[in-house]
Amino acid sequence: ESLTALRVTGNCLRHDLMQNGEASTAYDPWAIDETSLKIMERLGEGRYGEVNKALYTDPLSEDVPRVVAVKQLKQIKCESRNLATIMDEMRNEMEIMKSLVHPNIVETVGICVDPVPLLVMEFVENGALNAYLRHHQHALQTFQLLAFAKDVANGMVYLHSKDIVHRDLAARNILVSEDLRVKISDFGLARFLEVPGGYYMTQHFGRDVPLAWYAPEVIEFHKYSAKSDIWSFGVLLWEMFSFAAAPYFCDLRVLSERLRQGQRLPQPPACPPSLYVVMQRCWAFEAAHRPDFKELLDNLTALFE
Ligand code: ADP
Ligand code: MG
C-alpha cells in the first residue's frame, strides 16, 4: 500500500517538474536513473526522510562507482493529505538543493523521480553532528568545536546571500566529513524569501516542530527570517559545547513566556565565557538586535586568536 503511495508521489512530482518546464527538455543534468543506484545500509532517518548509503554508477563516465547518500520518503501511512504535504516538502527540498554549491553545504548529486522520488547527495562520512558530538565528547577540543561553528556560519552566509532561510538549523541536520569539516543539510523546511532580507510566515506549525530551536517571533507568530536562523544557530552552538545534550523541552506557551522573561539556555561547562556572550547575542529577544552571519563569522574568527 505505501509503495503505491510512493509511486503516486513520484508521478505527481514528475508532473510538477514538467509543468515547471524543467523535465521537458530532452536532457536534464540532474536526472538519475534508479537502476544506476545500488542501495546499501541505512544511514539515518528524520522527520520524513530515510537516508541510505548507496553506490552510484554514472552511465556517462567510466569511473568507479561513487559512494552517495540517497534520501527517500520513509514508509508512510497512505493518507493522501499527509502525502501531499510531505511531497511538497520533498519537491521544495530538491529545488533548493539544486541551487546550492558551497563547501559547507551538502552537495546534490542528482534527482530521481520515477518510480519513487529520490534525492541523491554526496556521502558525508562521519554522519550527523549530534551523534558525532556524543561519541567524541572526551576527545573534542574547543578549537575543533569552534572550527565546526565557523564552517556552519560560512555556509549560512552563503545561504542567506541567496535569500534562503533554513528553518531547521540543529546538530541533527549538520553532517561531519572525513576531514572534520561540517556541511549543512536537510533543506526540507528551507524556503526562498520573496523579498530580499524579508521573512516567511506560515499559518500554523507543521508536524514535530523543533520548538527548542525557535526564536520568540517564530513561536508566537510563525515568522521566519535570517534572524530566526541566527537564533537557531545560537542553540546549535549550545548543542556543540554541551555535546548534543537536549535543550529545554516544554509547552509552547511556557517556553514563550520564559523567553519573554529573559530566560535562556545555561552556559555549558565546556563553553568559554567569550563564546557564551556570542550565543546570548544570537538570543536577543528582538530579531533586529541579533547579529548576522558575517558578523558572527568575524566574532568566531576572533575567538580563535
Ligand atoms: P529528515 O528530513 O528526515 O530529517 P535528514 O536529511 O535530516 O532527514 O537525514 C536524516 C539523517 O540521515 C541525518 O541526521 C544523518 O544521520 C543521515 N544523513 C543524511 N544525509 C546524509 C549524508 N549525505 N551522508 C551521511 N549521512 C546522512
Ligand atoms: Mg533532519
Q: Is the pLDDT of residue 3 over 90?
A: no
Instruction: Give 26 Cα–ligand 2 centroid separation in angstroms.
Output: 33
The mean pLDDT of 207-214, rounded to a whole number, is 89
Q: How confident is the model at residue 47 (pLDDT cuts 50, 70, 90)?
A: confident
Q: What pLDDT was estimated at residue 205? A: 87
Say which ligand is closest to the CA of 172: 1
Q: Is the pLDDT of residue 198 over 50?
A: yes
Q: Is the pLDDT of residue 22 over 60?
A: no
**Is residue 126 lining ligand 1, measured as CB closer than 6 Å?**
no
More confident residue, 165 or 46: 165
Percent of the chain with pLDDT over 90: 74
Q: Could you tell me if 55 and 65 are in contact, meaning their C-beta atoms sit under 8 angstroms apart?
A: yes
Q: What pLDDT was estimated at residue 7? A: 62
Q: What pLDDT was estimated at residue 2? A: 56
More confident residue, 21 or 186: 186
* ipTM value for the complex: 0.98
Mean pLDDT value across the chain: 90
Q: What pLDDT was estimated at residue 89? A: 84
The CA-based angle 101-102-106, given to 5 degrees, is: 85
Q: What pLDDT was estimated at residue 27? A: 77
Q: Could you tell me if 94 and 137 are in contact, meaning their C-beta atoms sit under 8 angstroms apart?
A: no
248-299 pLDDT, tens digit each: 878 899 999 999 999 999 999 999 999 999 999 999 999 999 999 999 999 9
Segment holding 300, helix H or strand E: helix 293-304
Find where cell 565557523 sits: 150
Q: What pLDDT was estimated at residue 221? A: 96
Instruction: Give 180 Cα–ligand 1 centroid separation in angstroms.
Output: 17
Instruction: Give 302 Cα–ligand 1 centroid separation in angstroms.
Output: 31
Q: How far apart are CA 59 and CA 36, in angstroms?
A: 7
71 is in an annotated binding site: yes
Q: Could you tell me if 23 and 128 are in contact, meaning their C-beta atoms sit under 8 angstroms apart?
A: no
**Is residue 106 lining ligand 1, measured as CB closer than 6 Å?**
yes
End-to-end CA distance of the chain: 58
The mean pLDDT of 66-83, rounded to a whole number, is 79
Q: How confident is the model at residue 173 (pLDDT cuts 50, 70, 90)?
A: very high
Q: Is the pLDDT of residue 225 over 80?
A: yes
**Is residue 51 lining ligand 1, measured as CB closer than 6 Å?**
yes
**Is residue 46 lining ligand 1, measured as CB closer than 6 Å?**
yes
Q: Could you tell me if 159 and 180 are in contact, meaning their C-beta atoms sit under 8 angstroms apart?
A: no
Q: What pLDDT was estimated at residue 81? A: 63
The mean pLDDT of 133-158, rounded to a whole number, is 98
Q: Could you tell me if 117 and 88 are in contact, meaning their C-beta atoms sit under 8 angstroms apart?
A: no
More confident residue, 47 or 228: 228
**Hey, what's the cell of 224?**
521566519
How many helices (H) and strands (E) in the chain? 9, 11
Q: What pLDDT was estimated at residue 261? A: 97
Q: Is the pLDDT of residue 15 over 70?
A: no
Say which ligand is closest to the CA of 174: 1
SS3 195: coil
Instruction: Give 50 Cα–ligand 1 centroid separation in angstroms.
Output: 7
| Residues known to be catalytic | 168
Q: How far apart are CA 13 and CA 89, in angstroms?
A: 11
Atom number, ligand 1, closest to the C-alpha of residue 173: 7
Q: Is the pLDDT of residue 11 over 70?
A: no
Q: How many CB atoms lie within 10 A of CB 208?
A: 9
Lowest-pLDDT choice from 97-101, 206-210, 242-246, 290-294: 206-210
What percent helix, strand, coil does the chain show, rounded to 5? 40, 20, 40
Q: How confident is the model at residue 1 (pLDDT cuts 50, 70, 90)?
A: very low
Q: Is the pLDDT of residue 174 over 70?
A: yes
Say which ligand is closest to the CA of 72: 1
Q: Could you tell me if 153 and 296 are in contact, meaning their C-beta atoms sit under 8 angstroms apart?
A: yes
**Is residue 123 lining ligand 1, measured as CB closer than 6 Å?**
yes
The mean pLDDT of 115-131, rounded to a whole number, is 95
The mean pLDDT of 131-147, rounded to a whole number, is 97
